[in-house]
Chain A
Amino acid sequence: MTKEMQKTNYDGSSESSTQRALVPTVDIQELADSFVVRLDIPGAEKESIVVRVIDATLTVTVNAPAHFKRDAILMFDDLPAEYRREFSLADNIDPHSINAAYELGVLRITMKKKQQYLPKEIKIL
């Protein structure tokens, strides 16, 4: 799981220069029967977050607006931000069990392990 998850494919050079493209920082935790992925995406609206699973690849794309209105008399570079990060899903993840919630600027994705990969106790007859 770890190895697969670390494959973050991101090609900054292909982004247009008018937008700030960012790779959100991520935490990944494994629990007994599931995985929890947490991404820092401050300043986005829930509606602008897209979580997609295609061919065992989970992609998170977010468009966050700029922080300031344009009529400031003095400010630094402040452009809308595009967040993007990709994860390859391991075989033991059930793609139908993926859930996502956005709170306090953190996107929390949970995914369950497939039944056949869960530890099973075998009774001695």
Chain B
Amino acid sequence: MLFRYEPTIFSDIFSPTSPIEQTYPSLFPRFSFVDRMNEYPYVNVAEYKDEIQVVAEIPGIPKENVKLQLHDGILTISGERKAPEDAKDSQWLRQEISYGSFSRTIQLPERVEAEKVTADYQNGVLRVTLPKHEAVKPKEITIR
């Protein structure tokens, strides 16, 4: 099943931490947190049969400057993008790229095996692979 991302003007009201969503969680799709597109960095989440993948676009940041934390089903990606070194004796003609620190939390849709989480960073894209906990993995049942 594929879901199409469609941002709405209600994105802020229906964030996972908003009172309305906490009161009536069943009314909202599980991935509604992805709607928070005004936050940095861009994050996309996909659920597979036995794992969850979180992808964040964080160009220009060496992996040493990125911190990943998983606590109680909440994944936090934080770090700092430093201004380029060669910016010292120059005049900025245009600056659209932001520099500084960032932090973003993502509520995971399922229980995961915290010890088996892996992450890799390539070409400015951070990919976190979180294997699902045995208890929430789909199981096939044989009919006797």
Contact = CB atoms under 8 A, between A and B. Distances in A.
Interface centre among A27, A31, A71 (most CB of B within 10 A): A27
A122 interface: no
Place the interface of chain B in its size category. Answer: 35 or more
Given A42-B58, A105-B59, A106-B59, A72 B124 contact: no
Interface of A: 1-2, 5-6, 25-32, 35-36, 38, 40-45, 67-69, 71-78, 102, 104-106
8 contacts: A5-B93, A40-B59, A42-B123, A43-B57, A73-B47, A105-B57, A105-B60, A106-B59
A47 to B, nearest CB: 12
A69 B47 CA distance: 11
Interface stretch (B15-23, B70-78, B82-90): B82-90
Interface of chain B: mostly helix, strand, loop or mixed: loop
Contacts of A45: 123
A2 B94 CA distance: 7
A71 B48 contact: yes
A38 B93 contact: no
Contacts, number: 124
Contacts of B55: 67-68
A72 B91 CA distance: 46
Interface of chain A: mostly helix, strand, loop or mixed: loop
A12 to B, nearest CB: 16
Given A1-B93, A2-B94, A78 B44 contact: yes
A102 B30 CA distance: 36
A31 B95 contact: no
Nearest to B3: A76
B2 interface: yes
Interface centre among A29, A44, A75, A102 (most CB of B within 10 A): A75
A30 B87 CA distance: 9
| CB-based closest 9 A-B pairs | A105-B124, A105-B59, A42-B124, A75-B46, A76-B5, A25-B96, A72-B46, A28-B94, A42-B57
Given A1-B93, A38-B84, A75 B59 contact: no
A19 to B, nearest CB: 15
Given A41-B124, A67-B125, A73 B49 contact: yes
A75 B3 contact: yes
B141 interface: no
